[in-house]
Structure 1
Amino acid sequence: MTAQLVVTRDYSQPLCMRLRYEPADPYVVRATFFTHSDDPVEWVLGRDLLADGLNGSAGSGDIRIWPAVGRGDEAMHIALGSPADAALLEVPAQDIRTFLEHTEALVPRGTESGHIDWNLELTNMFAES
């Protein structure tokens, strides 16, 4: 999808954004942003956070999401980073809604924990310590 990197109130720059969902990691959505540099930038967002941000302000700290004021239900804002060094994105709300509907067809909300391989998670946790 195409997102807008909001530079100023009157100027934004188009940015390609790809969302990826994996049922084996059911609580998160991976958002990859393709800039003019060689390396894309990836952020991990909570699936519930994206859904909550469609209807009102959600998140705190490094990730905040809210509907774009004055745009009806057409767009939403995603702020990534600290207040001192943040990127503000405006994304089409319908694209996010459609994406979330597809994820919920794979893993309905509230059933995420049943899709996690807990033995593998414990093995990985002990291997790291």
Structure 2
Amino acid sequence: MSFLVSEELSFRIPVELSYETRDPYAVRLTFHLPGDAPVTWAFGRELLVDGVVAPCGDGDVRIAPTGDKMFDEVLITLQVSTDQAMFRAGVAPLVAFLDRTDKLVPLGQERALADFDASLDETLDRILAEEQSAG
């Protein structure tokens, strides 16, 4: 991705895209800025899906297609209070990443996985509590 310092100045930075089935609604972008500790942003996977084709997001994360060619690049804006950082990324790697996440958990099926994980956590907590009280 490119970190946009101004309209005239940008530089490439390594960014890791990650997705975990234990948090099926979110994707994570970890930015490795020179001289700083990595910074990770988690936001809705659906926001990234939608932002590839149309401007979306009205909170801390906004994503919009940009560039001369349709579906060529996206602009990702991250905001904390009055500070914001803007990044430009190619659509192709984002779509490939989203395709891999969809193979793990199809869009729209997140709730089934989230419910299973919550039930599993609840059951394991109950079993551990019973074992501790019995011992």
TM-score range, shorter chain: 0.7 to 0.9
Tell me the amino acid that sits aligned with residue 32 of structure 2.
F
**Residues paired across the two proteins, number:** 121
* Residue in structure 2 matched with residue 94 of structure 1 by the alignment: 92
Other-structure match for 1:52: 50
Per-residue Cα deviation, 1:14-44 (whole angstroms, up to 9, x for no partner) = 1111011011210000110001124100000
Identify the residue that residue 110 of structure 2 maps to in structure 1: 112
Greater per-residue strand proportion: 1
Moved over 6 A (4+): none
Q: Distance in 2 between matches of 1:121 and 1:53?
A: 35
Q: TM-score, normalised by structure 2?
A: 0.83
Aligned residue number for residue 35 of structure 1: 33
The percent of aligned pairs where both chains have the same amino acid is 35
Aligned CA RMSD, in angstroms, stands at 1.7
SS at match of 2:106: coil
Q: C-alpha deviations, 1:45-95, integer Å up to 9, x for none?
A: 210000000111111121100001424321101000147210000011110
Going from structure 1 to structure 2, the CA distance change for 1:100 and 1:121 (only over 3 Å counts) comes to: farther
Which structure has the larger Rg? 2
Q: How high is the TM-score relative to the length of structure 1?
A: 0.86
